């Protein structure tokens, strides 16, 4: 289980992190998630995406099909090497290149020089234009208010509508891939932190500044961080763990490789198949089971894996 922070003034920092929400599944060539997806600028993604609404930044490269159950927005100069389908409206900025077919059930809004190799179908209106970027629109809007000599109260009210805190833009239930991330079939490389929630199935070696993993995740790869690493309950890591600072491993987790850090903390029920290297020391967390009968220990440990935060 991941402790989900409230989205306040730290939204900008979260944009630099890789956030993988609950029940995200990496399939052979597709990432499937139950919520929304935000992909930053200049991202290299060797997977297609299946999600609700999908937003893709500028100059990104997507190697796979895009299926959006809700709206879709793709900013300028992004290349999609596959087909695109959305059950709602779609927007494509200038110079977007789609190598497959485009299917839109809603309205289609495209900028100049958008290329669709295998054609398109849409059930709604088709609008070809070059809309202003969002930040440019906000700037011009505020300049207009000042030129009209509107009072400060009205300007603050306008800002309140544009940046309302009642509905945060980012959420831990949203798959967020930060700027300049590299997500290939073998690696996941980000400059910021990586946050993996619960019940995910992932492929690739993770390299990040730090990592926090929830419960019951299955990762086919190793993890390497510069800062602290936390692995939750009941996870299976098909690889090694390496950190320059501290690694903590909770109950029932299995690591099928070496664990290397300055300091290592692990639960007594965790299983580490490889070698342990910790110059700063190793701490083992033990459960207080002295008052539990021997024939009830198996039930206790099963319950602790199913409901790790109730004990």
Q: How many domains does the chain have?
A: 2
Q: Let me know whether 109 and 247 are in one domain.
A: no
> What is the percent of the chain where pLDDT is above 90?
66
> Do 74 and 102 lie in a common domain?
yes
Distances (CA, A) of 186 to 100, 189, 206, 239: 25, 10, 9, 12
How confident is the model over 249-271, as a mean pLDDT? 95
- Choose the final residue of a domain: 174, 192, 210: 192
Residues 6+ apart with CB under 8 A from 292: 300
Q: Do 96 and 127 sit in the same domain of this protein?
A: yes
Question: How many other CB atoms sit within 10 Å of the CB of residue 279?
Answer: 8
148 inside domain: yes
For residues 91 and 179, membership in a common domain is answered with yes
pLDDT of 306 over the 80 cut: no
Instruction: Please indicate, yes or no, whether residues 92 and 164 belong to a single structural domain of this protein.
Output: yes
Does any domain span residue 41?
A: yes
Contact 184, 9 (CB under 8 A): no
Which of 192, 223, 245 delimits the end of a domain? 192
In a domain, 4, yes or no: no
Q: What is the mean pLDDT of residues 225-254?
A: 96
**Do the domain assignments include residue 96?**
yes
What is the dihedral sign for C-alpha 43, 182, 29, 51? negative
pLDDT (0 to 100) of residue 145: 60
Instruction: Answer yes or no: is pLDDT of 37 > 90.
Output: yes
In a domain, residue 1? The reply is: no
Same-domain pairing of 175 and 241: no
Whether 203 and 188 map to the same domain: the answer is no
**Final residue belonging to a domain, choices 167, 192, 217:** 192
pLDDT-derived band at 4 (thresholds 50, 70, 90) equals very low
Find where tokens 């936390």 sit.
Answer: 230
Kindly state whether residue 174 falls inside one of the protein's structural domains: yes
Q: Are residues 201 and 110 part of one domain?
A: no
pLDDT of 15 > 80? The answer is no
- The whole-model pTM stands at 0.80
The percent of residues above 70 in pLDDT, for the chain, comes to: 73
Instruction: Give residue-wise pLDDT tens across range 191-234.
Output: 999 999 999 999 999 999 999 999 999 999 999 999 999 999 99
**Maximal C-alpha separation, the chain:** 79
Which residues are registered as beta bridge partners of 73? 55, 91
Q: What is the pLDDT of residues 69-127, one digit of tens each?
A: 999 999 999 999 999 999 999 999 999 999 999 999 999 999 888 999 999 999 998 88
Alpha carbon of residue 262 to chain centroid: 28
If asked whether residues 108 and 226 sit together in one domain, one would say no
Residue 3 falls within a domain, yes or no? no
User: Mean pLDDT in the chain?
Assistant: 84
5: pLDDT strictly greater than 80: no
Q: What is the pLDDT of residues 116-165, one digit of tens each?
A: 999 999 999 888 876 555 555 555 566 566 655 555 565 566 556 555 54
Shared-domain flag, residues 187 and 41: yes
Q: Supply the range of the domain harboring residue 130.
A: 13-192
Please indicate, yes or no, if residue 249 is contained in any of the structural domains: yes
Indicate the pLDDT class of residue 41, thresholds 50, 70 and 90: very high
Looking at the structure, tell me whether residues 115 and 157 fall in a common domain: yes
Judgement on whether residues 71 and 171 belong to the same structural domain of the protein: yes
């Amino acid at each position: 289980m991941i402790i989900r922070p409230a989205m306040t003034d730290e939204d900008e920092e979260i944009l630099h992190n890789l956030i993988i929400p609950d029940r995200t599944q990496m399939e052979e060539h597709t990432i499937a998630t139950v919520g929304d997806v935000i992909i930053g600028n200049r991202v290299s993604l060797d997977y297609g995406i299946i999600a609700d609404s999908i937003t893709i930044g500028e100059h990104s490269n997507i190697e796979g099909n895009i299926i959006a159950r809700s709206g879709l927005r793709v900013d300028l100069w992004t290349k999609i090497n596959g087909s695109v389908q959305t059950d709602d409206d779609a927007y494509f900025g200038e110079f977007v290149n789609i190598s497959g077919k485009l299917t839109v059930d809603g309205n289609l809004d495209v900028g100049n020089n958008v290329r669709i190799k295998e054609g398109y179908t849409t059930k709604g209106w088709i609008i070809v234009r070059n809309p202003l970027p969002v930040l440019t629109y906000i700037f011009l809007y505020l300049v207009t208010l000042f030129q009209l000599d509107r009072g400060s109260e009205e300007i603050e009210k306008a800002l309140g509508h544009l940046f309302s805190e009642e509905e945060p833009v980012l959420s831990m239930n949203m798959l967020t891939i930060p700027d300049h991330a590299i997500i290939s079939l073998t690696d996941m490389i980000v400059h910021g932190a990586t946050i993996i929630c619960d019940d995910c199935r992932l492929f690739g070696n993770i390299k990040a500044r730090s990592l926090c993993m929830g419960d019951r995740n299955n990762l086919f790869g190793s993890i390497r961080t510069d800062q602290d690493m936390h692995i939750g309950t009941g996870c299976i890591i098909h690889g090694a763990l390496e950190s320059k600072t501290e690694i903590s491993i909770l109950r029932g987790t299995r690591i099928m490789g070496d664990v290397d850090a300055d300091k290592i903390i692990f639960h007594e029920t965790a299983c580490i198949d490889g070698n342990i290297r910790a110059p700063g020391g190793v701490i083992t967390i033990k459960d207080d089971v002295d008052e539990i009968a021997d024939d009830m220990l198996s039930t206790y440990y099963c319950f602790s894996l199913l409901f790790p935060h109730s004990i």
